[in-house]
Structures are given as C-alpha cells and as structure tokens.
C-alpha cells in the first residue's frame, strides 16, 4: 500500500498521476465522491474501475447489485478473488479517500488490501489519516507513507515552478517565499499568479502578500468552509498562539476539550501540524495563521489581547517563560514582560539563543519603555555589547545612568547600582582605571555565588591585568573561573583563557595547556563555541598549537577565532583589542605577515576610539615592532610548515644539523634547507637570530 496523506494543495493527485505515467503496470483509478459513502456503491465503483483494466466475471458484476452489508459479505471475497486472479499486476488508486466517512466503507478498503496479489498495490490519497490498519501494515513493512514534508517544495523546485509560469525571481525572493509558504505547492502557485512587474524593470517580483485574495479564497473555500463553525472559531482564536497544546488552548480560550479538537484537526490534515510524536503540541501552517489572525483582529479586536494575556499567565505557571514573554508583549503587559525578561534573559543567553533575546529588547525600545524598567535597560546594554553593537549598548546604559542621576532610590539603596556598575565596567568607556573602579563597586554589591559576582571578578581581573597588576589579577580570574564553572557560563571560559595567557607570558606552557583545556571543556559543555567571547579561547589554543608544532591545528583555531572577531567591536574594547593581539602573535609565529598586518590595523582603529586600555597599547606597539623587523619583501604571506616548526624546536639546542637530522630521520642536507627557509621567513640571517626571534614570538621557551 502507498498512502499519500497531506492537506489540500500539496499535489497528492499530481504525484499519483506522475507515478502512473512512469509505471508500466495498469492503474485502475477511482476518485471517491460523496455518493460512494455506501459499501455497495463503493464496491460497484471499484469493480467498474477494475473491469476497465481486465474484464471481470459477468456473474460478479450482477452480484454487485446487492445492497449494504450483503455486498461486503458476499461480493468482497469474490472481488478479491478476481483481483488475485488477474493476469497482470495492477495499481488500484483511491483518490480523495477522506470523503469516505462510513466505517463499513472503510472496512471494504481495509479488507481489499489483503486480497492484493504480489506485484499489485493499493494507492490512496487523503487529506487526513484514515482509520485503516496502517500501524499493522507499517509493522509488516507493507506500507509506504508520503506526507506533507515529502511533498513540500524546496527552493530548487519552487524556482522551477515559477520558471514554468514564465517567472524568474531573485534567489533571495524565492528563498523567502519558500520559508513563508513552507514549500506548500498551491501557495507557491498563487504567488506566481500574484506576481507583479518590478518598478526597476528587472522582471516580475515574486511575492505572496498576507492578504493575497487567491490564497485567502482558497483557504476559505477548500479548508475552512468544510469545518463546523465552532471549529473555525476555535482555530481563529488559536491563531494568537505560536504553538498549541490542549491545556494551553483551554486556558487561553477559557474552554475545555481542546486536546481532542487539536488531534482531530491534525489527523484531518487541516494545516494543523503536530510537533511531537505524542501529539501534545501543534502549530498552524503560517499562511493559515496569518489569515485567521487578520480575521480575529477584524472581527474581535479586543479579544486578541485577552487571549494573549491568558496564554502568558498559563506559560508562566508552566515554566515556559520565553513563550510567556512573547505573549505578555502581545497583550501589551509591559510589567509582566519586564519581570519575565529579567528572569529569563541570562539563561536564554547561556543557551545560545541571542536571536530570541533581540526582539524582546526591540519591543521595549519601540514602545519607549526602557526608562520605566531599568533592569531591562541594563540587560539591553549588556547584550548589545556582547552582540557587538556599541551605539545601542551605550544608548541602553545611558537610560539607566540618567535615571540614577535623577535620584530615584528605594530605602536609600538602588538595587540597580551593582548591575549598572558591572555594565559600565564591561563597556570600559572611560579607560582601565574607571573600569577597575566600576568592577570593584559591582563586586561589593553582587550576591555571593551569582553570575554577577563571577563576572565582576572577571572584569576586575582584566582591569588589573591591563593596569599591570598581574598577581591580584590572577587571583580574581581564578575566582571568576571557579564560580563561572559552577554556573556554566562563558565567564569561566574567558577567565581560564586569560589565565592561560598569563601562564604563557610567564613561560609556563604546561600550565597554559591545562588552563586552555579547562576553558575548552567549558565551551563544549555549555555550547559556547560560537559565542564572540570564545574568540579569545581559540586564539589562545592556536598559540599553544604552534608551540606544540601542530600547524594545521593552529590554522584551524585561528580561522575559528577570525570568524568570531567581527562581533568584537568597541562595545567590548578590552576584549576586542586583546583577541586581535593574540591573533597577531599567532600570525607572526606562522610568519603570516599579511594577516598580522590586517589585525594590527584593526587594533589601531580600536585604540583610536578607545585609547585608555592600559598595557594593550604597549603590547600593540611591541607587535608592530616585530612586524616591522621582518623583511616583508621576502616573507610575503608565507607560513612555517609543520616540518619547519618541528625543526625550529631543535634549533634552540646544541645539536648540529647532522644530529638534528638523526633525530628527525632526515638528511643533513634536508635539515639545512629547512633551516634556511626558516631564516628567510623570519627575516634573519643566522641560527642564533632565528632562535631569539622564535623566543620573542613565544615559539621557544627561554
């Protein structure tokens, strides 16, 4: 059996017809009508269809005149025997099977399956899953089920459909169209019908407006008109919800029995899509949802906010806080939304869902609510800094600073003082000295064992590091790492990477490796590899890989860090500059002069905007000096090979070229050639100069 089960407009009939054209077997095709809702009529229709393929016994056709149940008991075995005895295999197609409502008619179809001989098949097309023994057939490996996910068009297919209509849309437009329609073929067809010429003369622009009259008429006539009015009302009110479950719909609509309705609608394939195998959660097809949302706003404009408010209350009680935020905003309940955002923003960030957070803060800014909710404003400043948006970060933070200057206090203490000091330290707008002061204030006000305390330790440690106070900085970074690891936040990763850099600068490469591995463990465990802050870790790992002689690993880590660097702007000036300096060290160690020059140019630009960054300015100058000492005319953008890195570690010993060759299983001539290549790439002329240059770059321990 082949079961093609999908909502209207997915091309079920078209698929079966295309199959019939290609398959050498005969296809007996019956399109079910409402009149077939009688077993005797259905059997006569099936028999007449099969008779066209291979004539049936006239006596059997005469027996088909029996009514109702008698037809099933007397005729079906004979019809089954006739099909089994057919000289050639056949495919019996029952199209629009969803129109069969009577159980005895469906019994005819179920029993017919077992009469089919080897080589023959039953193919059904239905909008919903019919009450046939599909579970048994699946277990026996006797059914192929094709659903809407199989029939939906991808971008290539959508482009072909549009081209067939004489349209050649922009790939970006077609991609967006496929996303909005979820590949629903009939919607793509309506998009082709609705396309209009571009004002710029580049051919028609393929679009599908939410109020497209062709599509809306189709949804009304083919989908909604077939449902009882109470179900249409139910779906219209559910259109407020992103996802639907029985309990959520009951709460939002102030009703009961929603779970049964949702299951029935999904099995009927009325564009209600189950999201899990247990059929607890569902969603509407986005185009149907758009239509119903517009209908709700038009017919019951005040009801939408009530539904959203009830949904927010239910989601909050059910610990679905991110969904509760969205519904609170839809309801216009700013106080609830603010409370929830403050509660859920950090876990959402830690979970890597920055794209979820941005619309929330956009909503507060769009409705000019930041001043009323300073905790939200501080989070907006923090998250925009991490996202690399300096203007937005400063704008949000200024809102809170202005509020504080206005003297709004509660019992003489403003609970916002600690978080505000932390954000100011993060932004480092007024130099390292002020950053240290702000971080100390934040640390004094942070609850013990909290993410605020861990981050305050980190920022204070970085400020002390940039001020040259390495011993206290190391302790602060260790505290930040310990608390951060307990909480599973990126603070631990950054603190451990900073400590690894300290260890490298002190020549303790083994400790640096241990610390970097701890940082990488945090990054992997908490899914932090794509966070902008992990760029520091990957730059550190690249330097360690170079020191081990693992050039391919170093290049891979440098590439990963480079991919994250654009997110590090002057919104986080200390980290943005430090990461680029570590990258420059890596590139210089690989004698990749072009890459080193590029990142140092970016450092210069950042330092012009944020000049008061302590030791980072001095470090940038030292690296620029090393870059200038290289003979750029001969070095170009070359890199040390893995073999040259292995040899470099022996150049710092007392071994001769012959002895080095013995250790590396190379000839003396090969060792000398590789050594000359190293000298050329380093821009030096002797072994001692090459060793000193390698030590300056951190490639060799003193």
What would the pLDDT profile of 328-353 be if each residue is shown by its tens digit? Answer: 999 999 999 999 999 988 788 767 67
Decide if 685 is inside a domain.
yes
Degrees to nearest 5, angle at CA 495 with 572 and 458: 60
Give the tens place of pLDDT for each residue, 579-614.
999 999 999 988 888 788 889 999 999 999 999 999
Decide if 221 is inside a domain.
no
Report the C-alpha gap between 60 and 360 in whole angstroms: 70
Report the C-alpha gap between 620 and 597 in whole angstroms: 11
Give the Å distances, CA to CA, from 201 to 160, 161, 204.
Answer: 22, 22, 8
Q: Does one domain contain both 570 and 591?
A: yes
SS3 state at 122:
strand
Q: Give pLDDT, residue 145.
A: 93
Give the tens place of pLDDT for each residue, 361-387.
999 989 989 888 999 999 999 988 988
Please check the confidence at residue 404 and state whether its pLDDT lies above 60: no
Domain end: 134, 150, 166, which one? 150
Q: Does one domain contain both 691 and 584?
A: no
CB within 8 A of 647, min separation 6: which ones? 660, 664, 671, 674, 675, 678
The mean predicted confidence, pLDDT, of the chain is 86
The dihedral built from the CA positions of residue 399, 400, 403 and 404, taken in this order, carries a sign that is: negative
Q: Which range among 8-12, 70-74, 593-597 shows the weakest confidence by mean pLDDT?
A: 70-74
Of 363, 364, 223, 359, nearest to 289 by C-alpha is 223
Half-sphere exposure of 83 (CA within 13 A, CB side): 30
Q: For 526-575, where are the E strands, in sequence order?
A: none
If you ran DSSP here, which 8-state letter would residue 467 be given? T
Q: Give pLDDT, residue 592.
A: 84
The dihedral built from the CA positions of residue 456, 460, 465 and 467, taken in this order, carries a sign that is: positive
Q: Does one domain contain both 540 and 482?
A: yes
- Alpha helix segments (H runs only) across 428-532: 431-445, 451-466, 470-487, 490-505, 509-525
Q: Does one domain contain both 466 and 508?
A: yes
Say if CB 5 and CB 129 are below 8 A apart.
Answer: yes
SS3 state at 144:
strand
Q: Does one domain contain both 575 and 663?
A: no
Q: Give pLDDT, residue 243.
A: 94
Q: Is pTM beyond 0.95 here?
A: no
Q: Give pLDDT, residue 512.
A: 96
Domain end: 103, 129, 150, which one? 150
Of 582, 588, 591, nearest to 557 by C-alpha is 582
Decide if 242 is inside a domain.
no
Give, for 273, the enclosing helix (H) or strand (E).
strand 272-274
Band (411; pLDDT cuts 50, 70, 90): very low
Domain end: 584, 616, 635, which one? 635
Decide if 237 is inside a domain.
no
Number of domains in the chain: 4
Q: Does one domain contain both 517 and 577?
A: yes
Give the percent of the chain with pLDDT over 70.
90
Q: Give pLDDT, residue 211.
A: 63
Q: Which range among 281-290, 457-466, 512-521, 668-677 shows the weakest confidence by mean pLDDT?
A: 668-677
Q: Give pLDDT, residue 448.
A: 93
Please check the confidence at residue 496 and state whether its pLDDT lies above 90: yes
Q: Give pLDDT, residue 499.
A: 96
Say if CB 393 and CB 384 are below 8 A apart.
Answer: yes
First-to-last alpha carbon distance for the chain, in angstroms, is: 76
204-205 and 272-274 as β-strands: parallel, antiparallel, unpaired?
A: unpaired
Residue that wins the pLDDT comparison between 289 and 203: 289
Report the C-alpha gap between 247 and 574 in whole angstroms: 49
Of 221, 344, 189, nearest to 291 by C-alpha is 221
Length of the chain: 702
CB within 8 A of 497, min separation 6: which ones? 515, 516, 519, 536, 537, 540
Say if CB 20 and CB 4 are below 8 A apart.
Answer: no
Decide if 372 is inside a domain.
no
Q: Does one domain contain both 655 and 510?
A: no
Give the tens place of pLDDT for each residue, 186-224.
988 888 877 654 444 455 556 665 567 788 888 888 888
Query: What's the average model confidence in pLDDT over 550-569?
Result: 88
Q: Which two tokens stand for residue 565?
A: 């660097």
Task: Provide the residue range defining the domain that includes 625.
Answer: 419-635
Query: What's the average model confidence in pLDDT over 494-504?
Result: 96
Say if CB 543 and CB 553 are below 8 A apart.
Answer: no
- Alpha helix segments (H runs only) across 140-239: 148-151, 155-164, 171-181, 185-194, 213-218, 229-238
How many C-beta atoms lie closer than 10 Å to residue 221's C-beta?
A: 11
Catalogue the long-range contacts made by 233-236 (C-beta closer than 8 Å, 24 or more residues apart): 234/258, 234/261, 235/265, 235/270, 235/272, 235/284, 235/288, 235/292, 236/292, 236/295, 236/296, 236/299
Q: Does one domain contain both 556 and 460?
A: yes
Q: Does one domain contain both 180 and 135?
A: no
Query: What's the average model confidence in pLDDT over 571-582?
Result: 95
Decide if 451 is inside a domain.
yes
Q: Which range among 130-139, 510-519, 531-540 shows the weakest confidence by mean pLDDT?
A: 130-139
Report the C-alpha gap between 453 and 442 in whole angstroms: 8
Query: What's the average model confidence in pLDDT over 61-78?
Result: 66
How many C-beta atoms lie closer than 10 Å to residue 228's C-beta?
A: 8
Report the CATH number at residue 71: 3.40.50.300
Q: Give pLDDT, residue 383.
A: 87
Decide if 116 is inside a domain.
yes
SS3 state at 204:
strand
Residue that wins the pLDDT comparison between 178 and 77: 178
Give the tens place of pLDDT for each residue, 619-666.
999 999 988 877 544 343 345 676 777 788 788 888 888 888 877 778
Give the tens place of pLDDT for each residue, 116-175.
888 889 999 998 888 888 888 888 889 999 999 999 999 899 988 888 877 777 777 888
Report the C-alpha gap between 239 and 247 in whole angstroms: 15
DSSP assignment of 48-64, as one string? Answer: HHHHHHSPPPHHHHHHT
Q: Does one domain contain both 626 and 650?
A: no
Q: Does one domain contain both 571 and 675?
A: no
Give the percent of the chain with pLDDT over 90.
46
How many C-beta atoms lie closer than 10 Å to residue 291's C-beta?
A: 25
Report the CATH number at residue 653: 1.10.10.10
Q: Which two tokens stand for residue 337?
A: 């939304």
Report the C-alpha gap between 378 and 363 in whole angstroms: 15
Residue that wins the pLDDT comparison between 226 and 67: 226
Q: Does one domain contain both 502 and 623?
A: yes
Give the tens place of pLDDT for each residue, 428-439.
999 999 999 999
Decide if 220 is inside a domain.
no
């Amino acid at each position: 059996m082949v079961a093609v089960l999908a909502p209207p407009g997915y091309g079920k009939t078209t698929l079966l017809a295309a199959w019939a054209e290609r398959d050498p077997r005969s296809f007996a095709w019956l399109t079910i009508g409402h009149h077939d809702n009688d077993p005797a009529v259905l059997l006569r229709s099936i028999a007449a269809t099969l008779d066209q393929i291979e004539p049936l016994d006239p006596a059997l056709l005469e027996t088909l005149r029996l009514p109702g149940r008698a037809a099933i008991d007397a005729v079906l075995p004979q019809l089954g025997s006739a099909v089994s005895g057919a000289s050639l295999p056949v495919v019996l197609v029952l199209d629009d099977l969803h129109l069969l409502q009577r159980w005895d008619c469906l019994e005819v179809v179920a029993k017919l399956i077992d009469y089919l001989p080897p080589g023959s098949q039953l193919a059904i097309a239905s909008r919903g899953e019919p009450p046939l023994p599909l579970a048994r057939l699946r277990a026996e490996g006797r059914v192929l089920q094709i659903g809407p996910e199989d029939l939906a068009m991808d971008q290539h297919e959508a482009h072909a459909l549009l081209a067939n209509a004489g349209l050649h849309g922009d790939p970006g437009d077609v991609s967006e169209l496929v996303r909005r329609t979820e590949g629903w073929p009939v919607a793509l067809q309506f998009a082709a019908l609705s396309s209009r010429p571009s004002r710029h003369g580049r051919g028609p622009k393929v679009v599908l407006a939410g109020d497209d009259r062709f599509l809306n008429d189709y949804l009304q006539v083919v989908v909604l008109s077939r449902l009882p009015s109470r179900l249409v009302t139910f779906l219209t009110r559910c259109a407020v919800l992103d996802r639907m479950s029985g309990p959520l719909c009951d709460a939002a609509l102030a009703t009961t029995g929603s779970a049964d309705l949702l299951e029935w609608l999904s099995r009927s394939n009325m564009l209600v899509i189950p999201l899990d195998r247990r059929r607890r959660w569902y969603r509407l097809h986005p185009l149907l949802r758009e239509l119903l949302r517009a209908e709700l706003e038009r017919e019951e404009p005040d009801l939408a906010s009530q539904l959203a408010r009830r949904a927010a209350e239910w989601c909050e009680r059910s610990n679905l806080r991110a969904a509760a935020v969205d519904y609170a905003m839809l309801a216009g309940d700013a106080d609830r939304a603010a409370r929830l955002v403050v509660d859920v923003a950090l876990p959402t960030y830690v979970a890597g869902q920055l794209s979820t957070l941005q619309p929330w803060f956009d909503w507060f800014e769009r409705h000019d609510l930041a001043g009323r909710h300073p905790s939200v404003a501080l989070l907006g400043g923090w998250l925009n800094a991490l996202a690399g948006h300096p203007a937005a970060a400063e704008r949000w933070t200024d809102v809170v600073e202005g509020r504080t200057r206005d003297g709004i206090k509660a019992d003489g203490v403003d609970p916002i003082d600690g978080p505000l000091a932390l954000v100011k330290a993060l932004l480092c707008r007024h130099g390292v000295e002020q950053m240290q002061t702000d971080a100390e204030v934040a640390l004094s006000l942070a609850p013990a064992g909290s993410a605020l305390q861990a981050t305050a330790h980190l920022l204070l440690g970085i400020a002390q590091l940039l001020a040259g106070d390495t011993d206290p900085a190391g302790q602060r970074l260790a505290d930040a790492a310990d608390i951060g690891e307990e909480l599973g936040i990126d603070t631990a990763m950054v603190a451990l990477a900073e400590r690894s850099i300290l260890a490298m600068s002190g020549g303790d490469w083994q400790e640096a490796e241990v610390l970097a591995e701890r940082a990488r463990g945090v990054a992997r465990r908490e899914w932090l590899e794509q966070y902008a802050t992990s760029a520091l870790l990957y730059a550190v790992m690249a330097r360690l890989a170079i020191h081990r002689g693992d050039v391919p690993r170093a290049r891979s880590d440098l590439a990963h860090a480079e991919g994250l660097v654009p997110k590090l702007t002057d919104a986080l000036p200390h980290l943005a500059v430090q990461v680029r300096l570590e990258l420059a060290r890596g590139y210089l160690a690989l004698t990749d002069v072009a890459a080193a020059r590029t990142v140092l140019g970016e450092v210069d630009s950042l330092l012009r905007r944020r000049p008061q960054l302590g030791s980072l300015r001095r470090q940038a100058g030292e690296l620029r000096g090393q870059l200038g000492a290289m003979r750029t005319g001969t070095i170009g953008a070359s890199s040390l090979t893995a073999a040259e890195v292995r040899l470099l570690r022996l150049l710092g010993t007392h071994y001769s070229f012959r002895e080095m060759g013995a250790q590396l299983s190379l000839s003396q001539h090969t060792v000398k050639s590789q050594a000359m290549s190293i000298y050329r790439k380093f821009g030096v002329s002797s072994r001692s100069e090459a060793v000193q240059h390698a030590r300056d770059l951190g490639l060799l321990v003193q």
